[in-house]
Amino acid sequence: MSAEILAIFIVSIVSFVIIVFKWRFKYWNRKNVYTISPSIPLGNFHDTILRKTSLSMELYHMYNLLRSKGLKYGGIYMFLQPLLLVTDLDLVKDIFVRNFQNFSDHIIYANEKVDPLSGNLFSLKGAKWRALRVKLTPTFTSGKIKMMFETMVNCTKQLRELLDEFVSKSEPIDIKETMARYTTDIIGSVVFGIDCNCLQNSDTEFRKYGKRIFEGSIVKVGKRIASVCVPGLFNYFNIPLNDKGVERFFIKIVKDTIDYREKHHIDRKDFMKLLMELKTQKISLEGKGSDEENNKVVYSQDGLSLNEITAQAFVFFAAGFETSSTALTFLMYELVMNLDIQEKLRNEINTVLGKHNGEITYDAIMEMSYLDKCFQEILRKHPPAASLSRICTKTYKIPGSDVVLEEGDNVFISVYGIHHDPEFYPDPEKFDPERFSEEEKSKRDPFTFLPFGEGPRICIGLRFAAMQVKVAVVALLSNYKFTLNNKTQTPLEYDPVQFVLSVKGGVWLNAERL
């Protein structure tokens, strides 16, 4: 009898769960939105959750399906979480710029109470994000990038020394690891004022914890997905998303750096100096609102705490070294797969450097137009941030339809899909820097190129990222010729478990001193 009761109980629970899923999977249908059929329980992300395909590639396939049907958007699901995948450029522009106030936040979990590192500029929402963005923006002007330029060039000296070791031993170069060590050294110096020495020693703590930030373990990937699907659950149970070891490391580094600078009255014109100034500066924001007295809402806090400073330093470190090293990896791969482009780029580099006494200068980099085209084309073909997301923060009616997005609805844009759409980029799998000549760019909508996002939440460090990539390429191509090593898997495949678009198996190159 008890077995029968247990069986009835189990069947009842399963039936209830199925009913909940089926009802939830009608969310977009109830709004008259075309839906790509989901399956219980994983929705439309079966291969992503089972680590067979990356999230970016899954979205790319769904983007193509919607485009093939001539649809501007479509409904999809991650477990029970409904998502709207947008394919129309005009609607993307509406979300990112024209109606930004309706979509001002990223779909990124943040709980500063239990996860201090999550309280960073990328994850913050609402008025606090706006206020902090205003304060941090001056760090990344062209003038400030010029001040950081010498640090980048200095790091290329160790980069060349490391490559010389590989060349002398006739060893293949793991270009992703090498570039990650280079960018980590730059970020460590610019953010913390610390010589990380990753190019000289691959086992430094900065490199160790840098790897831990992005490692694609089952637990980490599962938590990231769950934080999107059930953010309320994470908040209710105060579940941290970031690694506690990483958190302790960065809090200690920031505290030690601040204490040392204050004790010895050290004044470095870098990112940490600005963050230290924000310890005592009032951070506030005013804007039109519903306040009956003065029609203004005001956000205000008396400076940044140690944890808040650490969160900003952390996100700049993480984003600054990983995405740039990824872009460099893909660019070096394309240059060995297209030796004529490598030679053309080298000729431009040597010609321009010849005008500047053979030295890598800021002005020299700015003169290299073909280098800029190569940089843009690599971000087009292999965008490290291959998808973008927004939360609907205020009810929004999609123009030309009766579809109303509610507060809390999630929106995704497939950057990879747009960048590989043959309507915008004919023969999209071909690496062709001339797509970014002024003439060709003038023929395209600017929103066909979104490697850094767009609008008020465009990547704050895009100039910095571009410069450190270009400096590395100039240092490499002016001194070495590169070819593909047979350890590299071809054709190239993307790693299904990495958050940032990455190469499965890595990229291995041969180098020859010029």
Per DSSP bridges, beta strands 480-484 and 508-513 are antiparallel
Encode burial over 154-191: b for 16+ CB neighbours within 10 A, e otherwise: ebbebbbebbeebbeeeebbbbbbbbbbbbbbbbbbbb
Q: What is the three-state SS of 69-115?
A: CCCCEEEEEECCEEEEEECCHHHHHHHHHHCHHHCCECCCCCCCCCC
Cβ neighbours of residue 220 under 8 Å, at least 6 residues apart? 243
Q: Is 459 annotated as a binding residue?
A: yes
Q: Are 132 and 124 in contact (CB under 8 A)?
A: yes
Strand partners, 286: 298
Nearest by Cα to 44 from 61, 64, 23: 61
- For residues 447 and 92, the answer to whether their CB atoms sit within 8 Å is yes
> Positive or negative CA dihedral for 392, 299, 228, 387?
positive
The contacts of residue 464 (CB under 8 Å, 6+ apart) are 140, 145, 148, 190, 320
Q: Do residues 493 and 355 make contact, with C-beta atoms less than 8 angstroms apart?
A: no
Task: Quote the CA–CA distance of 450 and 108 in Å, as a whole number.
Answer: 19
Q: How far apart are CA 453 and CA 55, in angstroms?
A: 17
Single-letter amino acid code for the residue at 381: K
DSSP 198-218: TTT-TT-HHHHHHHHHH---H
Report residue 273 as tokens.
């100096």
The pairing of beta strand 404-405 with beta strand 73-78: unpaired
Q: What is the dihedral of CA 302, 308, 310, 315, to 10 degrees?
A: -130
Q: Please give the C-alpha separations between residue 54 and each of 41, 51, 203, 499, in angstroms, as whole numbers.
A: 18, 7, 28, 8
Q: 281: which 2 tokens?
A: 């500066």
The residues with which 395 forms a beta bridge, in sequence order, are: none
Distance of alpha carbon 171 from the chain centroid = 31
Known binding residues are 459
Known binding residues for heme are 459
